[in-house]
Amino acid sequence: MATMVDVAALAGVSVKTVSNVLNGYPYIRDTTRDRVLAAIDELGYQVNVTARSLRSGRTGMIGLAVPELGQPYFGELADDILAAAREQDVQVLIEPTGFTREGELAALREPGRGLIDGLLFSPAALEQTDASLLEVDYPLVLLGEQMFSPRVDHVTMRNTEGARAATDLLLDHGRRRIAVIGMLHAQGAGSAALRYAGYRQALENRGLAVDPALFGWADDGWHRGNGALAMAAILDAGVDVDGVVAFNDALAMGAMFELQVRGRRIPEDVAVIGFDDIEDARYTVPSLTTVDPGRREIARVAVELLCRRVRERGDRDGVRPEAVLHLADMRIVERGSTPARA
């Protein structure tokens, strides 16, 4: 029977690296993780389980499938999930799906290659028409806003409410030419559509029309560079802007960079607010006002719910329990990129 030492030798890595891959440690290069997983497959290696796991029929490990760890939100979410899992005495196997349909289907069809008891799944490429694929024969908790199903446990955030509150904050400061950064031409479902809905509602509630000239497009991803490019396109078109609502903090940081390069003062000339409250938001100059969508609550509730489903499995005579939909609390975190309240 293959051992962890055999896997390490075949993959050309240390035993510690193999252990980190199996335990879902997030800061491992994708190429290294792929080599280790390929060696596991080739050797047919199976993780040794404890006596407790043998008695319970469980491995003590859950899976987390997210689009990527390079985006700060997903990296910090993974950290929060790892912390919540430790509280539940389980380990986490993390699988980046690469924003691809193929990667997400593989995560659903081969969850952890048999190593895990249940899966936390955050899709980005699958569509609402694929919702039936979520009805799998193992415990699954859905994350994110790409897909919804009344038959699947789902833990998510208040996207529309958060974006509406962000826009209201700028409106309360007298800003009326508010750019929205992160728009997608193929809007469909998902975070972009929900956050745009909140932006639009806030404007309409004040009797203001939505101006497409203020749309900042980011079809290539919600990264800093695309935030800067979207902001540049609006400014290059000669559009008057006194506020920015960005659909995530990375886009907001890119927009702030472009504004400052062009001599626009923040928040005096243009007030900026992001979404996600990632750690880097505290260290921009000025520090970034943002929406805290309740990421830690999402992680804690999702892990607790999945672990409960794992424990319940087999105890209900085939009857599927009623699905849970949990919406985390959100709040605005005001910092230096918006004017101080009177």
Predicted confidence pLDDT, tens digits, the chain (342 residues): 788 889 999 999 998 888 888 766 667 888 998 999 999 989 988 766 544 454 456 788 999 999 999 889 999 999 999 999 999 989 999 999 999 999 999 999 877 667 899 999 999 999 999 999 999 989 999 999 999 999 999 999 999 999 999 999 999 999 999 999 999 988 677 899 999 999 999 999 999 999 999 999 999 999 999 999 999 999 999 999 999 999 999 999 999 999 999 999 999 999 999 999 999 999 999 999 999 999 999 999 999 999 999 988 755 555 678 999 999 999 999 999 999 976
Indicate the class that CATH gives domain 159-292.
alpha beta
Bridge partners, residue 114, by sequence: none
- pTM of this structure: 0.82
The domain limits of the chain are: 49-157+296-327, 159-292
Place of tokens 């415990």: 139
CATH 2.60.200.20 fits 49-157+296-327, yes or no: no
CA 33 to each of CA 6, 143, 195, 240, 305: distance values in angstroms, whole numbers, following the listed order? 16, 23, 34, 47, 28
Question: Is the separation of the CB atoms in 64 and 33 below 8 Å?
Answer: no
Question: Is the separation of the CB atoms in 333 and 277 below 8 Å?
Answer: yes
Same fold, 49-157+296-327 and 159-292: yes
Q: What does DSSP assign to residue 98? A: T
Q: 255 Cβ partners below 8 Å, 6+ apart?
A: 179, 181, 216, 227, 228, 230, 231, 244, 246, 272
Q: What does DSSP assign to residue 317? A: T
